[in-house]
C-alpha cells in the first residue's frame, strides 16, 4: 500500500497544505521546528487513532483555531481509499466517507511502522514503554487484541479494588477467585499473542541486523513475563494472594510483561553504545514491518523521523537499502544523500512543503 496524498487543515502549525507523495522513498528536509514531524504525526493519527506525541487531541489543532482536519488518500490492493479525521470537541474518523462508531476501528486500515528518536527510550525507560511497542504492533494485526487489553485492564482495576476492600473492609477472600479466573482467561490470550509476535520478530530481526552491521552483530529479543502458561499463571496468583492483599495490587500477570534486546549476547540497554541502541531499535522496527507484510501480504508505510542522527553512513545505507518495497517517509535537517538510490525530496519551511524533485 502507499499514501498518495495528505491534506492538512489547521493541523499543528499547518493552515492548509496538500502533500503529494511518491510510492518509494520520500525525504522531507528542513530546519528545526518547520513542520516535518507534524506530517508523520498526521499519518500516525490517521492510522492508529491518536498521536505518538500527546494524548491531548486539542494540542493537534492549530493555535487559535477550533477544529482541524487530516485526510489521507491511499492505495491498497490497487483500490483508492481515504481516511478523514476531524478534530474539534470530538474526534471523528471516517473511512471512504463512512463515519466509524469507535476510534479503535481505524486501527489496521493503514498499516504503518514509525521510528522516532524517542524510540531509543524503549530500551532505557520503564517496561510500560516496551509493552506499548508490543501493543501497537499487535493491535495493527489483530483487532481483537485491543479489545482484550481493555477488558484486561478493567478486570485488573476491579481486582485491585477488591484487594483493598479485603484489607480495609474485611470483604470475603474467597470471592477474589472470581476476578482471578477472569484475569487469567483474558491474560493468557494476551500472553500468547505477545509470545507469538516476539517469536515472529526474532525470525526476522537477526537477518536484518547482520546485514546492516556487516555481519558483526547478532541480535535477539527475549520476552519476559512472570507467567509461563495458564497453569503457572493460576498457581502464581494463588501463591501471591496474601501478599497482593497486603499491597493492594496484583503482582502477577501480563501487565508486568517486558522484553530485552541482546546484541552478541549482551543486553543492549546496559552494554550497547548509543548508535547500537539506535540501530537495534531500527532493526526491531524493520522486523516489525516484515512481520506486518507476512501477516497482511501488504507492505506497511515506514515513517522514519530524524533517523539519520547518530548513525554512520554505512548503517544508514544498510537500513534504507533494505527497505525495497515499502513506501518510506524520512525527515531530516540536512539534505540526504546516498548513492544509487532514487527518492523524492521535499523542503519543509514554515509549514509549507515544496517538492524539490527526484534524485
Ligand atoms: N497546535 C499547534 N499550533 C501551532 N503550531 C504548533 C502546534 N503544535 C506544534 N506547533 C509548532 O509546530 C512546529 C513544527 O513542529 P515539528 O515537530 O513538525 O518540527 P520539525 O520540523 O520536525 O522540527 P525538528 O527538526 O526540530 O524535529 C513547532 O514550532 C511547534 O511549535
Ligand atoms: Mg521533528
User: What single string gives the DSSP state of each residue in 202-267?
Assistant: HHHHHHHHHHHTTT---EEEEEE-S--SHHHHHHHHHHTHHHHHHHTS--SSGGG-EEEEEETTEE
> Ligand 1: does its nearest atom lie under 6 Å from the Cβ of 12?
yes
For the chain, give the percent of residues with pLDDT over 90. Answer: 85
Q: What is the pLDDT at residue 117?
A: 87
| 1-111+298-359 CATH, one of 3.40.50.300, 3.40.640.10, 3.40.50.150, 3.10.450.50 | 3.40.50.300
CATH fold match for the domains 1-111+298-359 and 126-295: no
92 lines ligand 1 (CB under 6 A): no
Q: Domain segments of the chain: what residues?
A: 1-111+298-359, 126-295
| Residue pLDDT, tens place only, 104-125 | 999 999 999 999 988 888 898 8
- Which residue has a Cα nearest atom 7 of ligand 1? 12
Residue 339's CB is within 10 A of a number of other CB atoms, namely 6
Which ligand 1 atom lies nearest to the CA of residue 62?
A: 3
DSSP assignment of 61-85 equals BPTT-S-EEEEEEEEETTEEEEEEE
- Regions in the chain scoring below 70 on pLDDT: 336-340, 359
Diameter over CA atoms, the chain: 72
Q: Name residue, grid cell 533494505.
A: 322
pLDDT value, residue 338? 67
Give the three-state DSSP class for 23. coil
Task: Give the pLDDT confidence score for residue 317 in this predicted structure.
Answer: 82
CATH topology of domain 126-295: Glutathione S-transferase Yfyf (Class Pi); Chain A, domain 2 (1.20.1050)
Residue 10 Cβ inside 6 Å of ligand 1? The answer reads no
Q: At what angle do helices 143-169 and 176-212 cross, to 10 degrees?
A: 140
Neighbours of 103 (CB within 10 A): 14
Would you state the pLDDT for residue 324? 85
Amino acid at each position: 500500500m502507499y499514501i498518495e496524498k495528505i491534506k492538512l487543515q489547521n493541523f499543528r502549525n499547518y493552515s492548509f497544505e496538500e502533500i503529494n507523495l511518491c510510492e518509494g522513498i520520500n525525504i522531507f528536509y528542513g530546519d528545526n521546528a518547520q513542520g516535518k514531524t507534524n506530517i508523520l504525526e498526521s499519518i500516525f493519527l490517521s492510522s492508529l487513532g491518536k498521536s505518538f506525541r500527546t494524548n491531548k487531541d486539542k494540542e493537534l489543532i492549530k493555535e487559535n483555531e477550533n477544529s482541524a482536519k487530516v485526510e489521507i488518500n491511499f492505495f491498497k490492493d490497487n483500490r483508492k481509499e481515504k481516511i478523514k479525521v476531524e478534530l474539534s470537541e470530538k474526534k471523528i474518523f471516517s473511512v471512504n466517507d463512512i463515519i466509524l462508531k469507535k476510534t479503535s476501528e481505524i486501527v489496521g486500515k493503514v498499516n504503518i511502522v514509525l521510528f522516532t528518536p524517542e524510540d531509543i527510550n524503549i530500551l532505557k525507560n520503564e517496561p510500560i514503554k516496551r509493552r506499548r511497542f508490543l501493543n501497537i504492533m499487535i493491535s495493527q494485526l489483530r483487532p481483537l487484541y485491543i479489545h482484550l487489553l481493555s477488558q484486561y485492564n478493567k478486570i485488573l482495576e476491579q481486582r485491585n479494588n477488591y484487594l483493598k476492600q479485603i484489607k480495609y473492609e474485611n470483604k470475603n477472600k474467597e470471592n477474589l477467585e472470581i476476578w482471578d479466573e477472569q484475569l487469567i482467561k483474558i491474560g493468557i490470550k494476551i500472553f500468547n499473542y505477545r509470545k507469538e509476535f516476539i517469536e515472529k520478530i526474532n525470525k526476522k530481526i537477526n537477518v536484518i541486523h547482520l546485514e546492516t552491521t556487516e555481519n558483526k552483530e547478532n541480535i535477539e529479543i527475549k520476552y519476559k513475563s512472570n507467567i509461563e502458561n495458564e497453569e503457572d499463571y493460576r498457581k502464581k496468583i494463588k501463591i501471591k494472594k496474601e501478599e497482593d492483599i497486603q499491597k493492594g495490587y496484583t503482582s502477577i500477570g501480563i501487565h508486568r510483561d517486558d522484553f530485552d534486546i541482546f546484541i552478541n549476547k549482551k543486553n543492549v540497554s546496559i552494554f550497547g553504545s548509543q548508535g547500537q541502541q539506535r540501530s537495534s531499535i531500527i532493526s526491531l522496527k524493520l522486523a516489525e514491518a516484515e512481520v506486518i507484510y507476512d501477516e497482511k501480504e501488504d507492505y506497511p508505510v515506514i515513517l522514519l523521523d530524524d533517523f539519520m542522527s547518530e548513525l554512520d553512513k554505512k548503517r544508514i545505507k544498510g537500513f534504507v537499502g533494505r527497505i525495497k518495497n515499502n513506501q518510506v517517509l524520512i525527515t531530516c535537517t540536512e539534505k540526504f544523500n546516498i548513492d544509487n538510490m532514487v527518492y523524492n525530496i521535499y523542503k519543509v519551511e514554515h509549514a509549507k512543503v515544496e517538492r524539490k524533485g527526484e534524485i
